Amino acid sequence: MSPEILTVLMFGTLVLAIALGHPLAITLAAVATLFGLIDNGFNVMALMDLFANNNWGLMQNYTLVAVPLFIFMAQILDRSKVSEGLFDALYIVMGGLRGGLGMAVILVSTVFAATTGIIGASVVAMGLMAGPALLRRGYDRGLASGIICSSGTLGILIPPSIMLVVYGGLTGLRETSVGNLFAAAILPGLLLSGLYFLYVMVRCGINPKMGPPIPKEDRTATLGQKVMMTAKNFVPPFGLILIVMGTILAGMATPTEAAALGCVGSLILALCNRKLNLDVITQASRATLRTTAMIMMLFVGGKLFSVVFLSMGGGWVVSDLLLGLDVSPYVVLGIMMLVVFILGMFIDWAAILLVVVPIFTPIAMDLGFDPLWFAMLICVNLQTSFLTPPFGYALFYFKGVAPPEYTMSDVYRGILPFVAIQILGLILMILFPQIITWLPKVFFG
């Protein structure tokens, strides 16, 4: 059977199995096994050797040790209620502005994203804290939903991000090392956060009913009290960010070592907030175990899929198809970004990375694109996967904890402008590559 036919059948089988609701990790491994046997004439031992060799290399990847460490750090910070104090402070500081409470949610989510890197924790925490508060203050339910869901997804992009660790461990390229990816992701993450902030400020400035300020009688704090409250609640998490990111960017520690340092820092913050006890550590450890197991199962299944796909010539089929088009390289780039965007509507980010990165990265390099720049475009694109229906995880995380007044139609209506903002941010990064490449050059040359 020709590689072209096998490629079409393999992708078609994968899409059908996912549509039928089968577990993604098992589906990837099962499809890889089926088509691996078809391709090699049902030589079971040869296929098992291929799987064993590739998974042995995967499990020896030192970078991936950072995954459970960053997850544990995030779980401890989530349970130590670091974000609650910051939200309360910014509620008072910014609540008097039109849309001020919504802008405060974006700022808190940005800081929280830099300390967690886990979407579920960010969206759930902000949904519980800000969802009822925005509703009480008369915010438009669609706008409130969009603010919480979109800003909560910043955790997948702003380092330390689990997705960036996985990406760095997947490619093996010096240009896309975890340190380079962390440095490259800082400005894109802040750009998206700034665009969200600007949108809410302009939208509520034009129509104050969308996000009214809190009443004057609730604004009793003096300027000095506002400064003290903000500093008290902002400095500890920001200090942890500086410790984790600073040691990586300064070359003092590997991402894995910095993740371990972050775990110690999160435990200290929890202790200072009087939230550190055996129950918190036990819950955080169990959640870390479950999340790490899920990610590694996806990693193994995705690795098997990509190995079989490339070994049977699927990579060459896709490469010849895209590189054979008589169009600008940026049209090919647009096609690849569109594929990632559509996949994000249906498939988890980890599976998308494991399937498309081994295929698309060589194509991007053949087209003359910087692999670090291309990697960040994919990562920014994948952030939309948490917001786009029908399977946007952030939407369901929020709906699960939001007050019943928020309907699913409110949520879907509210996220559309923010998805458009993310696409705008992606276009800006294509037009101005320095947004991505400047900081890595500053720190790593």
Which residues, 6 or more positions from 101, have their beta carbon under 8 angstroms from its beta carbon? 91, 94, 95, 130, 133, 134, 137, 139, 211, 214
The 3-state secondary structure of 165-185, one letter per residue:
HHHHHHHCCCCCCHHHHHHHH
Token output for 333: 């780039």
Question: What three-state secondary structure class fits 252?
Answer: coil
What's the rounded Cα separation, in Å, for the pair 122 and 371? 29
Best-predicted range by mean pLDDT (107-121, 332-346, 424-438)? 424-438
DSSP letter (8 states) at residue 212: P
Structure confidence by residue, pLDDT tens digits, 89-121: 777 777 778 888 899 889 888 887 877 666 666
Please, are residues 280 and 274 in contact by the beta-carbon 8 Å criterion? no
Q: Taking 70 as the threshold, does the pLDDT of residue 243 lie above it? A: yes
Assign 436 a pLDDT band (cuts: 50, 70, 90): very high
Average pLDDT over residues 208-228: 76
Average pLDDT across the chain, whole number: 85
State the pLDDT confidence band at 132, using cuts at 50, 70 and 90: confident
CA dist 319 and 44 (Å) reads 28
Q: How far apart are CA 334 and CA 338, in angstroms?
A: 6
What element of type H or E holds 215? none
- Candidates 428, 364, 418, 410; CA nearest to 147 is 418
Q: What are the sequence ranges of the domains in the chain? A: 64-444
Q: Using CA atoms, how far apart are residues 379 and 394, in angstroms rounded to an integer? A: 16
Supply the pLDDT for residue 274.
85
Q: What is the pLDDT of residues 324-338, one digit of tens each?
A: 788 899 999 999 999
